[in-house]
Chains A and B, each alone.
Chain A
Amino acid sequence: MTSLEELSNIASQVRRDILRMVTKAKSGHPGGSLSSTDILTALFFRVMDHDPATWTRQTAGQDAFLLSAGHLAPALYSVLARAGYFPVSELATLRDFGSRLQGHPSTEHELPGIILPSGSLGQGLSAAAGIALAKRLDGDPHRVFVLCGDGESEEGQIWEAAMFAAHQGLDRLVAMTDWNGQQIDGRVEDVAGLDALEEKWTAFGWNVVVADGHDFESILQAFGIACAAGNGKPTMILFKTEMGHGVDFMAGTHQWHGKAPSEEQCAAALAQLKETLGDY
């Protein structure tokens, strides 16, 4: 079992990967990738029952993961590569013409680990509910995990899916919100006033867990509660996070939502993050 220290080391390497990928591509979304890094690291290296060697889009006999907030692709690509879904050397091709690492997750390019495309927001929770329905029909007890953004939760379809999953009693569905409080145009509370998330999800009939998305003990405890639920309700984990977490000049601001650092900025950022597994 991956220890807390090992998780922390993996996350540091993932953050380095994200910064180097986005810098080379000269575009991409570092802010949310850095805020969701610890959640994704815990999921793929400790929580999920999955096997990269036998994985298919159908995820039969495995847990499934969907990235609803597709712009967090750099974080997902790094975690998938580090978990063994494809060679880490391929991370250098992010956003290149012909790369399997499209700007947003694509299935057309058949990158292992990607079940459905995402990028146009608000759609992944519905798809995750569909996968959970299929697993229930097939008697497959595995879980479906899906990561959404808090800004993304301004999409009406998220709340359609919230009603549907609760009505269907999909208690093998675990949704997560990367609650970093930022979106492209500013703070979420200033842009659209999306507050009271805990109350909203509770009112929609979900189990709700609130956790610190940068503390592995808190993250694992939240997943423990979510996976033990089994009470006929889906579970939403609201992970309180910080956009740009791990790099002092990127942290806590929407300015780095969708902007690549310069070579100099990247070097300054990398100086703050330990190379633990070897850069790709």
Chain B
Amino acid sequence: MPLLELRQVTRRFGDFTAVDHVDLAIDAGEFFTLLGPSGCGKTTLLRMIAGFEQPDEGQVLLDGVDLADSPPEARPVRTVFQSYALFPHMSVEGNVAFPLQMAKTPAREIPKRVAEALEDVRLTGFGRRYPHELSGGQRQRVAIARALVTHPTMLLLDEPLAALDAKLREEMQIELINLQKQAGITFVYVTHDQTEALALSHRIAVMNRGNVEQVDEPSKVYRFPKSRFVADFIGQCNLFSGTVAARDGGIVSIAVDALGTVRVATPSTIAPGTRASIALRPEQIRIGASQGDTASDNRFRGTVSDLLYMGDVTVYRVRTDGGAEVEALLANSQTGRAKFFEPGDAVEMDWPAAAGHFIED
């Protein structure tokens, strides 16, 4: 039995359906991420798990028990808020002790528990400080210590790293992974940052307009997106749409406008004449001045129209002879690739049929 189960959960605000008949099952000990653009309903979903919002339809079950009648203060889940929501009039110790006091923990046990929680987030010695005397990263840790001190069954994190700078965010990501492993508590994490979701999660639920589009492991979400939205939202992606021209031994050929025939490997038994798409990651494309005469499933000529130098990699936007735009990515570490292309250079791109991912529209 999953630890948390959402059954047909729906939440409407007036005419707007924030969460639309969502089904989800989250297992104990999982690092589960709700990923999607702003307004996709992920925070509303999290607030329904915490109890701040009530579903208009459907059920939220924890350990098989419907939570409809338990207010937030009675649920064994804790939330780490985006703004941290530390109590400004209490010291760090006061903040961390608060949930213990609410849980009627014997007073003599509290200092020990607080000290342990602060040690877990590497804040030993900061107990007497006040929130306004801490840095953003330290406040973040106090918020986590405060949420974990009562050993809840589940921790809900609402974009907890959004306010931190890039360097600190990466550091906190690693800390979160370790903390989750060490505490063994189920994390439900909300973010709009796909790299964060890929780096942290055991499983990701990609949300769009109140619906869950795909629930999968990070590598599967990245490699095998179920819909055009998922392909486009997670990472950089070339999306080719067209009509299925032929199907032959696990290879489907699709006539893509402005590009030509693209072959993709798929077990799908789609009928010729149907509309379909291919998702192709820029790093799957080989790009060179000339690829020679070796046989290739997909080969297109074009001209570099733009490039985006990112340090470790360079993204080239190539306009094919047919007029299609394709993005290809080149790692700058590759030996023998010393020559960068300039806008206007003629290039050749190719990729095997297995590189693309077939999506039924």
Q: Do A and B assemble together?
A: no
Write the residues of chain B forming the contact surface with A, with a CB cutoff of 8 angstroms.
none
Write the residues of chain A forming the contact surface with B, with a CB cutoff of 8 angstroms.
none
